[in-house]
Chains A and B, each alone.
Chain A
Amino acid sequence: EDQVTQSPEALRLQEGESSSLNCSYTVSGLRGLFWYRQDPGKGPEFLFTLYSAGEEKEKERLKATLTKKESFLHITAPKPEDSATYLCAVQALIGGGADGLTFGKGTHLIIQP
């Protein structure tokens, strides 16, 4: 069974204080690992897809990395508008195709001015 564990559950940072969120996963065969951000009352907003170990992607203050067992979302010099719940999900390969996404419980990030 595919599993995704995110840590920490919650994180409070000062504006400008960089940090990393962790996503540990077990999957039979990885098709892709996804990062989303979710604001209260809204659906998840796509950030990144990573497909193989060693891959890195960046977008503004965010950088996602992937190893064979975990992924990190690095946040550099965050601003209050980066406050949100960050979700990690894996998609497994099945029968030549791809399964639905298995999500972690998320990291609730608060950036204080």
Chain B
Amino acid sequence: KAGVTQTPRYLIKTRGQQVTLSCSPISGHRSVSWYQQTPGQGLQFLFEYFSETQRNKGNFPGRFSGRQFSNSRSEMNVSTLELGDSALYLCASSRTGSDGYTFGSGTRLTVV
């Protein structure tokens, strides 16, 4: 059974640029959530998508956005990158969003 797949694994971007990260959930999972992990703040919830609709949103600025496609694959976009956006971005999928989440290995974003 394939797990949650995130691409790319590593990314280096320059301050001011934008970036798009991709997540393919486990087959049959309709909920996809995104989290940011940093040494200082730990894991923080960004947003959740279910059946192509944003269902929940964390406390992050509007530069962080996402979307979900009809096949449940999801993308996350960060515009106007700042140095503080350097982090591990994790995607997690679930059948319903209330039955436990399976995480991917993450995308390590470095902003220089």
A positions within 8 Å CB-CB of B = 31-32, 34, 36, 41-46, 49, 87, 89, 91, 94, 97-106
Contacts and interface: CB of A to CB of B under 8 A. Distances in A.
Contacts of A44: 43, 90, 103
B56 interface: yes
Contacts, number: 59
B105 A100 contact: no
B43 to A, nearest CB: 4
Interface residues of B, number: 25
Interface string B84-112: 00000010100001111111111000000
Contacts of A46: 100-103
Given A97-B55, A97-B98, A98-B97, A106 B42 contact: yes
Contacts of A102: 45
Given A43-B90, A87-B43, A100 B56 contact: yes
B75 interface: no
Interface of B: 4, 33, 35, 42-48, 55-56, 58, 90, 92, 97-106
Given A98-B98, A101-B45, A104-B42, A43 B56 contact: no
